Amino acid sequence: MSIKGIDKTLCVNCGQCYDICPNDVFAIAEGKVFVKYPEDCQSCALCLLVCPKEACKIDNMRPTALPARGRI
């Protein structure tokens, strides 16, 4: 639902996202970590918390058209 994916140019396949994810979104095959069940992501951001390489990318439930930054 809200995980965009893993930036494989940064990922070192340490498996920490797989280890912590409460919704079992990630899987490991042949030593490679990948997003297997993106629809189950609840955007809790625990994968971001543990990823040593900032390789996990998620977004929120808000519309993508929403401007992110405030400019007053």
Task: Evaluate whether 37 touches 24 at the Cβ level (below 8 Å).
Answer: yes
Q: Considering just the CA atoms, what is the radius of gyration of the chain in Å?
A: 13
Question: Between 30 and 62, whose beta carbon lies closer to other proteins?
Answer: 62
Query: Tokens at residue 53, please?
Result: 């390489």
**Residues of this chain that bind other proteins (CB under 8 A):** 1-2, 19-24, 36-37, 39-40, 42-46, 48-49, 54, 56-63, 66-72
Question: Between 13 and 38, whose beta carbon lies closer to other proteins?
Answer: 38
Smallest distance from other proteins to CB 55, Å: 10
Query: Tokens at residue 72, please?
Result: 């007053």
